[in-house]
Amino acid sequence: MTHPLIPQIIDLAVPVAQAIGLEVVGAVFQTNQSPPILRVDIRNPQQDTSLGDCERMSRAIEATLDASDIILDAYILEISSPGISRHLTTDREFISFKGFTVLISTSEPYEGKKEWRGQLINRDDTAVYLNQKGRALAIPRSLIERVQLDERKVKN
């Protein structure tokens, strides 16, 4: 479940990230920790996200978060890159990672399987399309639980 402050935090973080050439791809506020941990995930659209990118974002967003008074108590701010195992959710991510190997998990078996691996071709309103050894496969979006990047080679 998403913390209720996440939409406000993302609204503050997006323009800060854009000003330094980065993108915000998500945020999590772990209030079950003491002190709570706010993690903002970023990516550099021009190259691999570096530790320097995370440091720049941390410095840039600290003052904005403090001035906003959204989070009144002490917390730890973490800036990170979601890495290769991250889930694809937005249209932009599906476009950016076209041709990459992905792993799709379905809620119920589709053609006898609940996990599919292949190269991402496309996504539309009805399906996510994979290339499996030259064969195009359309997996209905209504069955898909998650799509994530996968660094392993396609094996079927």
pLDDT tens digits for 93-151? 788 788 888 899 999 999 999 999 999 999 999 999 999 989 999 999 999 998 988 75
Q: 83: Cβ–Cβ under 8 A, 6 or more apart, which residues?
A: none
Note whether residue 132 is domain-resident: yes
The CA angle 125-86-71, to the nearest 5 degrees, is 100
In this predicted structure, the answer to whether residue 85 has a pLDDT above a threshold of 70 is no
What total of structural domains would you count in the chain? 2
Cα–Cα nearest to 36, from 63, 64, 9 = 9
Residues 10 and 76 in one domain: yes
> Do 97 and 64 fall within a single domain?
no
Q: Is 56 a member of any domain?
A: yes
- How far apart, in whole angstroms, are the C-alpha atoms of residue 4 and residue 23? 21
Q: Which helix or strand (DSSP H or E) is residue 12 part of?
A: helix 6-19
Q: In angstroms, rounded to a whole number, what is the distance separating the alpha carbons of residues 43 and 28?
A: 15
Domain finish residue from 80, 102, 118: 80
